[in-house]
Structure 1
Amino acid sequence: MESPLLRTAFRRAIVACQNPAKRRVGLQPRRYFATPVDAQGGRDDIQAAPPIRFTSEDDQFSQTRPRAELITNDTFARGGRGGGRERGGGGGGDQEVDYRQLLRRIRVVPASPSYFTATPRYTDDLLHLSSLLRKHQLLPMVMPGEAPRVAWKTIDQYKTELAEPIRSKSYNTLLQLLKRLNYIHPSLMPQEITDALEKYKRDVQPHLNVPNPIVVNEYGVAKAVGRRKSSTAQVYIVEGTGECLVNGKSLTEYFGRLHDRESAIWALKATQRIDKYNIWALASGGGTTGQAEAITLGLAKALMAHEPDLKPALRRAGCVTRNPKRVERKKPGKLKARKMPAWVKR
């Protein structure tokens, strides 16, 4: 009975005879290796170089590795600067310490665990704030809206300080930790959290800038300054019968438009105080509309010096908030700021 191996060999031989392209070459090319061996007929006297032993004598180590010194605490205690070998002191006898052997096992360890990250300084700050929050998260907190107002550094200022590419999402995570730590009750705030928060505050806190209060002098006169566009108005207000002078002229003589007259005394009209105060205003710059609205702001600020309780009513009337809008300048080739001439085809 034929074996499967013999049957397969016969089949391959028949296929090779029918298809000459699949015939195998009987003689294989001889391979030569870089290192001569006996099978290749090489020379017996050619041998490989002996392996380098880095753990041999000191002179061999000095040829393969640069010289270095390892100073240990024991060396400082003895007042020496360990060079190569040194005998140990104390009860150890004459045991020698090979500092070159110790130097081979030294590995530089980074001081920070985030040294190999793309943003090591940011990661250190994030880890530091997170550890402070875990440590003091059980301290009492103030109610929302009662925490001290703090202006934190912007992302551009923080990136410039660290010189690292910080993303907005990453910086928002840092701000959330800062705000959470800022909600700790001020009377129980630890000193380490206070020092940590000072690092992220702006140099100038706009919330601490308090404007000078407007006071009523000994003559019963309150002075305030109002601005609108490029106009400025100094307004003096005193209790009286309702007279109003602008640059030495009456209100009707100085402002020809009814809208400008109402705008100038709108603070008194909204609070129903027209016949209770006398007004003297000095306006300059801009046009009549800008001067009238500048008088409105100055009059409202001076009126609050006499009656501080009128601030909510004046705020609702729109007299306290300054409008920062300015007139857009005229562009070359246009009739106004954006109006094109009629002959220009659209």
Structure 2
Amino acid sequence: MESSAIRHGVRRAIAACQNTSKRRALHQSSRCLATPAQGEGIKAAAPIRFSSNRNQFSKGRPRAQLIEDDDAGSARRGRDGRFGDQRLLRNIRIIPASPSYFTATPRMTDDMLHLSQLLRRYQTLPVLPPGEAPRVAWKTRQQYKIEVLEPVRAKDYNMILTLLKRLNYIHRSLIPAEVTQTLEKYKRLVQPHLNKPKPIEIDQYGRARAVGKRKTSTAAVFLVEGDGQCLINNKSLTNYFGRLHDRECALWALKATERLNKYNVWALVRGGGLTGQAEAITLGVGKALLAHEPDLKPALRKAGVLTRDPRRVERKKPGKLKARKMPAWVKR
């Protein structure tokens, strides 16, 4: 009887060892029972309040209570603010001061955006007719590049100049102060067109004194009403200039306006050759004649006697016959 019971128990043990599901259940049950189900001093942890859960817990609570709770939490963290205000840091978003902070040319880009914004804001204002805008000498690209300390391409600076010229066409009586201040920022310190020459005045003897220059020649010309006499360095016109071309060139301003027999010319000339001296006298006579009769300005300008000729003679180079003429043996 005992032997049969022992055989039955051994068979059950072998069957349990061969069946993995029963062995796992037995192991798990033994592992769970290894720790006592109820122990002394064991308590549940407090719930974690994440930032996403804060709004869930704050629903239905008054705002004053929420602020009071946050202040209490800050006081618990420390009055000296070592750890900072976590609530404030969660709501802060650091934004660059300039919208083009991360570009290679932030200052130039900001200027272009500012000018575009002004043009969009005031583009409906009346503008001046074409060609009647005030003359302005804008800063060069090199000057602007030194001012902003950034690499400025010619294409980008041309876009800035286009915006400036368009804003400069706004009517003077309606142009806003904001636009005027912005335009002043891009103007040169010295405006060349504002430097006007001193007007030639007629003295008490009826003489108008003007100075003319050509190449290295300088002529001081005195023009007074008379019968057509002409003295150059205390010599007559025919004695001083042997060539007919130089004589006609010296008095071309009077001949072009048909004033040869109405004025007397006295000139003091020095430097250069005869041709340069004759052309210097031409410019001086034209300026002096304009002081007597300002209405002749269109005719004198058309005759080309009010503008100095800046051309100079090109000097001879070593090894050449003239300025650019090569010797004959070189051509061979």
Instruction: Give the TM-score of the pair, scaled to structure 1.
Output: 0.71
3-state SS of paired residue (1:198): helix
Give 1 or 2: higher helix fraction: 2
Are residue 99 (structure 1) and residue 77 (structure 2) matched? no
> Paired residue for 1:207?
193
* Equivalences for residues 215-294 of structure 1 within 5 A: 215-294=201-280
> Paired residue for 1:153?
139
> Paired residue for 1:73?
none
Higher mean C-alpha deviation, range 96-105 or range 259-268: 96-105
Greater C-alpha radius of gyration? 2
3-state SS of paired residue (1:282): strand
* Moved beyond 4 Å, runs of 4+: 88-93, 100-108
Deviation at 1:163, TM superposition (A): 2.1
Distance 1:211 1:93, change over 3 A: closer
What residue ranges of structure 2 are gaps of 5+ in the alignment?
1-65, 78-82
Q: Between Structure 1 and Structure 2, how many residues are aligned?
A: 259
Distance 1:92 1:111, change over 3 A: closer
Deviation at 1:321, TM superposition (A): 1.7
1:280 aligned partner, one-letter code:
W
Distance 1:93 1:325, change over 3 A: closer
Distance 1:102 1:328, change over 3 A: farther
Structure 2 CA distance, aligned partners of 1:181 and 1:259?
51
3-state SS of paired residue (1:95): helix
Are residue 198 (structure 1) and residue 184 (structure 2) matched? yes
1:217-255 per-residue CA deviation (whole Å, 9 max, x = no partner) reads: 111000000011111100000000111011111111111
Identity of aligned residues (%): 69
Deviation at 1:265, TM superposition (A): 0.5
Q: CA RMSD in A?
A: 2.1
Structure 2 CA distance, aligned partners of 1:102 and 1:205?
57
Are residue 135 (structure 1) and residue 121 (structure 2) matched? yes
3-state SS of paired residue (2:101): coil
Structure 2 CA distance, aligned partners of 1:227 and 1:252?
21
Pick 1 or 2: higher relative contact order, CA cutoff 8 A, min separation 6.
Answer: 2
Deviation at 1:108, TM superposition (A): 4.5
Structure 1 CA distance, aligned partners of 2:292 and 2:331?
59
Structure 2 CA distance, aligned partners of 1:195 and 1:227?
41
Instruction: Give the TM-score of the pair, scaled to structure 2.
Output: 0.73
Higher mean C-alpha deviation, range 265-274 or range 167-176: 167-176
What residue ranges of structure 1 are gaps of 5+ in the alignment?
1-87
Query: Quick one: which of 148, 151, 158 aligns to 1:162?
Result: 148
